[in-house]
Amino acid sequence: MDGLIGKRQRGATSLMLSVPESLPEHMRQHIREVSKIETKVSHRNKGLASLLLDQVCDEADSSGVMLMLTVDPYEQGRTKQELVDWYARFGFEKLQDEPYLMARKPYG
């Protein structure tokens, strides 16, 4: 499961996977936080982020790991609702409003 920690990259898109330190110790083994999803501006809207997140979801499924993330539009040029809808396509569901947290249970 150690392979589910660190930076992932696909072309001009990258993201980070980490152990959420704010969780109780007994939960950390089975949950990874997805953060810092970034695509270079000149490569946006080409599906690279979708391909990368799909790959990470497959890895999490194979390892039986839940993924969680905070929806934060920052400089991505997307609204919060657009991001929520995009994450939902990968099976992420809302956990709470503030901060807006989503999680995805492993399939399989």
The pLDDT tens digits of the residues spanning 39-66 come to 888 888 888 999 999 999 999 999 999 9
pLDDT of 95 strictly over 70: yes
Beta-bridge mates of residue 15 = 8
pLDDT of 1 strictly over 50: no
pTM above 0.95, yes or no: no
> Could you give the percent of the chain with pLDDT greater than 70?
95
pLDDT of 108 strictly over 80: no
In this structure, what token pair is assigned to residue 9?
Answer: 């990259």
How high is the mean pLDDT of the chain? Answer: 90
| Residue linked to tokens 């392979």 | 3
Strands across the sheet containing 31-39: 6-10, 13-18, 31-39, 66-70, 101-104, 93-96
CA atoms within 13 A on the CB side of 84: 12
Residues 23-35, mean pLDDT to the nearest whole number: 91
